[in-house]
A and B are shown apart, each in its own frame.
Chain A
Amino acid sequence: MPRKKIKCVVWDLDHTVWNGILLEGDRLVLRSGVGDLIAEFDRRGILQSVASRNEPGPALAQLERFGLAHYFLHPQIGWDAKSQALRRLGERLNLGLDSFAFVDDQTFEREEVGFNLPEVRTYDAADIDQLHDNPDFMPAVITEDSRRRREMYRADEARQEQEAAFRGPGDAFLATLAMEFSLAPASAADLLRVEELVARTNQLNTTGKIYSYAELAELRESADHTLLVAALSDKYGPYGKIGVVLLHCAAEAWTIKLLLMSCRVMSRGVGGALITLLRREAKRAGVRLLADFRSTDRNRMMYITYKFAGFSEVAATEGETLLEADLDGIPELPSYLRIESTWQAVPRG
């Protein structure tokens, strides 16, 4: 299995981002190449944060002075173990720690992280010159959505703060977000983003099967396939293109070959709505609705999503399951979403 791409780089500060020790009153100088590397990772859509043993106020002020503060999400500046800081970042960003890189000049810190979180890749600050061309730090594709990834996560921070402050049923909170969900056949311009989502999405992915750009382009044109792209926005701004559905359409049955959603929208209740839309369309078209499911070590949530959305197993072989949807008792679409679908399998009327 190829190594997973790095999605988040976590930087130490003293003697890693800058030379000198902040709390000792040293004259701090940005280390050569660090500023450019941080800007380059940001352009590639790699998220970045900080794990530093320091006083938060002065450390953040120093990052501001170097013009770097805006690059870092959820900076972890304090006195606890760096493995703890990384664990919190994984939770806050909703990313697996096996997609994290940790850069620190101190062997002790790298070994502490490596011991407690062996899945995190650690790098000596002395070796950062090699990171620029390291293939692990080179996403398969870079799209408009990747370039804006940091901004979109920033909007997520505002959402999370509001959510934490909100008391009451989940739906009532979701309604305050004024979410707009759209579903449309993939355009040629969407294909890069679809390829990126397929490569990046592990948890909310019904098969984990990787499709190349060429395969996706062929499926988009294929007469018996439909490739759909979902997008979401809310009052804080766009989440971008966040979902993909690949349908195989035969005369009597449609089969969902792939359904995936970006983990950024995990708590937004849009996966269930998407499945409801598919069930409705299948019923209207008078076809059975089947779904392929392939279990990976990460995607049990998608199995549960299908099962709780009226699907049951009709066949199972080694690791692969075929599910079929009950097309009776399809629930209403959730009231907290405004849905715009430009996909019509069968013309209405």
Chain B
Amino acid sequence: MTQIEARTKIRAFLGKFIPEQDFADGDEIFALGLVNSLMAMQLVLFLEKDFAVKFANQDLTLKNFGSVDAMTDLLVRRGVIGAD
């Protein structure tokens, strides 16, 4: 999977909760209050399932899941998607 495909997939998932036009890939979705803390677990489980990855404890930080960019970077670092 390419980074662009990964971004599209993550945006589509978030789009179920917030209108896609309301956030950019760099936006901090928790800090901006676009989603609440309940979203944390859902995001972790969605990424683990759809990208077939299991995050280690040190991966589980707000910073790594705070934006579409951050999540894409995390997936690249975990070797799940290509670095393009």
Contact = CB atoms under 8 A, between A and B. Distances in A.
B35 A301 contact: no
B35 A308 contact: no
A307 interface: yes
Given A304-B44, A310-B62, A170 B57 contact: no
A313 B57 CA distance: 9
Interface stretch (A49-57, A91-99, A265-273): A265-273
- The secondary structure that dominates the A interface is helix
B38 A308 contact: no
Interface in A268-284: 269, 271-272
Contact of A307 (B33, B34, B35, B61): B61
B41 interface: yes
A312 interface: yes
A309 interface: yes
Interface string A280-308: 00000000000000000000010111011
Contacts of B61: 307-308, 312
A240 interface: no
Interface in B43-84: 44, 57-58, 60-62, 65
Interface string A294-337: 00000001011101111011000000010000000000001000
B57 A303 contact: yes
Contact of A171 (B36, B41, B44): B36
B24 interface: no
Contacts of B40: 304-305, 308
A66 to B, nearest CB: 40
A174 B39 CA distance: 13
A2 interface: no
Interface of A: 169-171, 174, 267, 269, 271-272, 301, 303-305, 307-310, 312-313, 321, 334
12 contacts: A169-B18, A170-B38, A171-B36, A269-B38, A272-B38, A304-B41, A304-B60, A308-B37, A308-B40, A308-B62, A308-B65, A310-B62
